[in-house]
Amino acid sequence: MPIYNFAAGPAVLPAPVLQQVQAELLDYQGSHMSILEISHRSSLFTELYAQAKERLLNLLELSDDYEVLFLQGGATLQFTMVPLNLAVKHHRIAIAQTGHWAARAVEEARRLPDLTVDVVTDAGPDYTTIPALPALPKDQYDYLHLTTNNTIYGTAYHQLPATSVPLVGDLSSNFLGQQYPFDQFDLIYAGAQKNLAPAGVTIVVVKKSRLAQVPAGLPSMLDYAALAKKDSALNTPPVFQIYVANLVLKWLQDQGGVAAMAAENTRKAQVLYDFLAQSRLFNNPVAPAARSLTNIPFVTGDAALDAAFLAEATAAGLLNLKGHRSVGGMRASLYNVMPYEGVVALRDFMATFEKHH
Ligand code: PMP
């Protein structure tokens, strides 16, 4: 029986990547040392670090006007680091509150002194839409923060809002899986554990012109400019996570890059949305224009039936379909690595379950 892992993160990784990790775990490139044992100062590491950076910029079609950082502290630490480093002129930021993680970004930014945080759009408490942004005044905000994909509620931006305010994006849950004009962002960040690597590394891609404006005197581990100067190795970086990220980036290039992933993710999501549209048992509450490609929540409306569905799905090899604890129900995460056949298997299972209930 094939097993499909629909977890929202940590999430499924490409089998060929895991096989390569296994094959070279005891002896990395003839060094007689494991990747888990090598120094972050060794050329073995600095070479793969440089390769990962180059692959990432290549996949995002960004020039070397951008710097790539591999940081720790998860996407959550970026809720603090982004304002500390970028809110330097107006000391005022705008956040589109389109879900739980955007609300967390608001909460963390509001802990900082000398910073005004304006929630400029609020899709709560249901978070089933992506409301249009109001016109934002020019030259009053250091940036506008968007969560491109809302992991828990299953909504996403399919077009970036037109605004003169520089954009910052939390791309954690559709990173390299949905196409955007990435050069419209001054900064992009993403926790790696959904699309790229095991938990423990966070990608930050930032315009070098913004790095030049980072204020003096930040604690060095929170200072993008200081981290960039040391190639993210101001302290010991997560070597293993960056190594896996580099292999997954190669895998993504071999698949045809972001455009190919986005096309395949659209095809996969359509299978489930088409089924949900005609289902009498399962419902997805999200406004059609705002539906995510990568996280699809659905419910039966009956908690006992949801629980029965989850138990039977698990027994059938369809794993980790439980919705986030804050919303309940089910959620299928269809990141880059989830194959089309996995989504078809889920759709067929849902159809059979519906027949019996
Ligand atoms: N932003 C989004 C959109 C997320 O989905 C998550 C995690 N699920 C986070 C931020 C927080 O990520 P981390 O656990 O890496 O701090």
Whether the pLDDT of residue 267 is over 90: the answer is yes
Active-site residue, 251 included: no
Same domain assignment for residues 148 and 69: yes
Reported as a pLDDT band with limits 50, 70 and 90, residue 195 is confident
Whether the pLDDT of residue 275 is over 90: the answer is yes
Q: Which of 255, 282, 299 is the last residue of a domain?
A: 255
Share of the chain above pLDDT 70, in %: 100
Domain count, the chain: 2
3 state DSSP class of 53? helix
Whether the pLDDT of residue 158 is over 90: the answer is yes
**Each residue's pLDDT tens digit, 37-52:** 999 999 999 999 999 9
- For the entire predicted model, the pTM comes to 0.97
Active-site residue, 229 included: no
Query: pLDDT at position 325, please?
Result: 87
**Each residue's pLDDT tens digit, 300-344:** 999 999 999 999 999 999 999 999 988 889 999 999 999 999 999
Query: pLDDT at position 329, please?
Result: 95
Q: Which residues are annotated as a binding site for pyridoxal 5'-phosphate?
A: 75-76, 101, 151, 170, 193, 235-236
Same domain assignment for residues 63 and 136: yes
Kind and range of the H or E element at 149? strand 149-150
Which is catalytic among the residues 142, 170, 223, 306? Answer: 170
Query: pLDDT at position 85, please?
Result: 98
How much is the average pLDDT of 225-242?
Answer: 97
Residue nearest to atom 4 of ligand 1 (CA): 172
Same domain assignment for residues 82 and 230: yes
Reported as a pLDDT band with limits 50, 70 and 90, residue 196 is very high
Same domain assignment for residues 205 and 263: no
Reported as a pLDDT band with limits 50, 70 and 90, residue 138 is confident
Q: Nearest CA to 249 among 159, 344, 324, 177?
A: 177
Same domain assignment for residues 244 and 301: no
Reported as a pLDDT band with limits 50, 70 and 90, residue 1 is confident
Using the mean position of ligand 1's atoms as its centre, give its distance from the Cα of residue 97 in Å. Answer: 14
Same domain assignment for residues 317 and 226: no
Q: Identify the residues whose C-beta falls under 6 Å from ligand 1.
A: 9, 74-76, 101, 147, 151, 170, 172-173, 191
Query: pLDDT at position 326, please?
Result: 84
Same domain assignment for residues 270 and 154: no
Using the mean position of ligand 1's atoms as its centre, give its distance from the Cα of residue 151 in Å. Answer: 8
Average pLDDT of the residues of the chain: 97
Distance CA 354, CA 348 (A): 10
How much is the average pLDDT of 12-28?
Answer: 98
Reported as a pLDDT band with limits 50, 70 and 90, residue 84 is very high
Same domain assignment for residues 242 and 289: no
3 state DSSP class of 332? strand
Give every CB contact of residue 288 below 8 A, 6+ residues apart in sequence: none
How much is the average pLDDT of 140-147?
Answer: 98
Same domain assignment for residues 172 and 298: no
Distance CA 140, CA 144 (A): 11
Tell me the CA end-to-end span of the chain in Å, nearest whole number: 24
Q: What is the CATH number of the domain that holds 213?
A: 3.40.640.10
Does ipTM come in above 0.95?
yes
Q: Which of 234, 255, 276 is the last residue of a domain?
A: 255
Segments forming the whole domain that contains residue 328: 4-12+256-356
Q: Which of 188, 222, 255 is the last residue of a domain?
A: 255
Same domain assignment for residues 33 and 84: yes
Same domain assignment for residues 154 and 188: yes
Q: What is the CATH number of the domain that holds 282?
A: 3.90.1150.10
Same domain assignment for residues 238 and 303: no
Whether the pLDDT of residue 134 is over 90: the answer is yes
